A and B are shown apart, each in its own frame.
Chain A
Amino acid sequence: MVSESLKIAGTERSPEIEFDFERGFLRFRGESYPEDASAVFGPVFVALDRFLAEAGGREIQAEFDLAYFNSSSAKALMNIFLRLDSAAAAGTPVSVRWLHAPDDDTMREFGEDFGEDLDHVVFTLVAADPAG
């Protein structure tokens, strides 16, 4: 069975990334404007592709708790959403929670925009105070 997990500590410019294979739980938290977005998100794509290939339809919960991201991070996020939506279309139960600070209209609007393209994923916008 799948038992590996991915855990990348956050930096000032890149988010904390956690992918618990056991629970099927993927989380991004922090800010994302790295020099090289593909280096930061590359491992996530690899892990996600392997999980989807090996876990055979097990449920995935993804949580995005981001305060800021740059354009290439946005592109990477869209790639992740595309993979998740394809998996959901193929029958994997996928739920996505998009967290934003209550007063952060920009992050709320980004969440709404991303949600528009997710036809098969259960998408929830959550106004919450930033995690300590």
Chain B
Amino acid sequence: MSFDLFDTEKKVLEQSKILRERLNDAPEEVRQGIDVLIEAFGRSIREQSRLVKVSDRLQAQLSTLNHELTRRRAEAEQALSDLQTAQESLVQAEKLASLGALVGGVAHEINTPVGIALSCASHLADATAQMRHLYEADDIDADEFDRYMETATDSSGLILSNCRRAAALIGSFKQVAVDRTSAERRRFELGATLNETMASLGPNLRQAGHEVTIDCPPGLMMDSHPGALSQVLGNLVMNSLIHGFDPGQSGRISLTVDQPQPDQVRIVYADSGKGIPEQNRGRIFDPFFTTRRGSGGSGLGLHIVYNLVTGPLAGTIVLDSSLPGTAFVLSIPASVP
């Protein structure tokens, strides 16, 4: 059913034309004047109807564009949120991977004292069995008894010291692992945490024959997030091992701590490796920036470092290009706000 929006006006126009017919006897100028009015009204209706059409078309275009804009914005927001989710899960995966490496390191490190304790215990058991055999045959002489006493003393001493070493290692690894997996804030001695963390990375470092030095003022207490700090160091060390040194090449890694101000701690992490090429320096903290995409690099290691230093640790990290090799300067408050 079609309906003319200007129906009313057109009816009025028809009416005025009929009225005009009845004015045939009126003076010429009146008739001409009425003709002009009728013509003007007709034209006005036609113009209004065209204007409405033009205006409708513009409004329709505007509405189409608005819909398109809303749709694209929703798409862009969705893409951004997908990206953030993907990034978060990659960061999480990276954390787990570094924890996995830590567990591997722990197993390797504890293997040595436990192995020594085991072989000492085995040796002691053998010697004891032999002694029991001689005792039952009532055939022990003083020399043999002396030798056995020496073996027992040495073995039990070694078992004790190695078990203590294993227990100490487990204790420090447990602290590192707990710190890694929790975001806990606590008071800790910086030197001890640095030592524990570097010890947990020991197998990786020692295998390649790197020399590690830690220079930290004794008794420096911090109130911060040791887990975050430990992960930062872990990632920096892994970066040095993967990027800084060629396979078979051994070098030095140093941690130097000082306090430019009483409430500030500066940790300079430096390796004697080949350094970061100048063209990459501006992008090393960017997520997914890696020179090792093909060989398994996620490009998140230094990004996580940056986030941990600027986030939980409330500090800054910069690359210091004035030194040979690679050096990072971390400035963090001794007590996070």
Contact = CB atoms under 8 A, between A and B. Distances in A.
A38 B55 contact: no
A75 B50 CA distance: 12
B8 interface: yes
A33 interface: yes
A60 to B, nearest CB: 18
B51 A71 contact: yes
A42 B52 contact: no
A15 to B, nearest CB: 15
A82 interface: yes
B2 A42 contact: yes
B1 A70 contact: no
A46 interface: yes
Given A38-B4, A42-B1, A70 B60 contact: yes
Nearest to A31: B63
A106 interface: no
B1 A46 contact: yes
Contacts of B7: 45, 79
Interface in B28-83: 48, 51-53, 55-56, 59-60, 63
Contacts of B4: 38
Please indicate which of the listed interface residues A35, A43, A45 has the most CB atoms of chain B within 10 Å of its own CB: A45
Looking at chain B's contact residues, is the secondary structure mostly helix, strand, loop, or mixed? Answer: helix
Nearest to A37: B5
Nearest to A41: B3
Interface residues of B, number: 17
A87 to B, nearest CB: 14
B8 A82 contact: yes
Interface string A31-71: 00101011101110110000000000000000000000011
B13 to A, nearest CB: 15
B5 A33 contact: no
B8 A33 contact: no
Interface residues of A, number: 18
A72 B1 contact: no
A118 interface: no
A42 B3 contact: yes
B235 to A, nearest CB: 51
B16 to A, nearest CB: 17
Contacts of B53: 72
Contacts of A33: 56, 59-60, 63
Nearest to A36: B2
Contacts of A75: 5-6, 48, 52
Contacts of B6: 75
B60 A38 contact: no
Contacts of A125: none
Interface in A106-125: none
A84 to B, nearest CB: 13
B55 A71 contact: yes
A76 interface: yes
A110 to B, nearest CB: 14
Contacts of A38: 2-5
Contacts of A45: 3, 7
B2 to A, nearest CB: 6
Contacts of B8: 79, 82
Given A33-B56, A41-B5, 11 more contacts: A33-B60, A46-B1, A46-B3, A70-B60, A72-B53, A72-B55, A72-B56, A75-B5, A75-B48, A75-B52, A76-B5
8 contacts: A33-B63, A39-B3, A41-B3, A46-B1, A70-B60, A72-B52, A79-B7, A79-B8
Closest 5 CB pairs of A and B: A42-B3, A71-B55, A38-B3, A70-B59, A71-B52
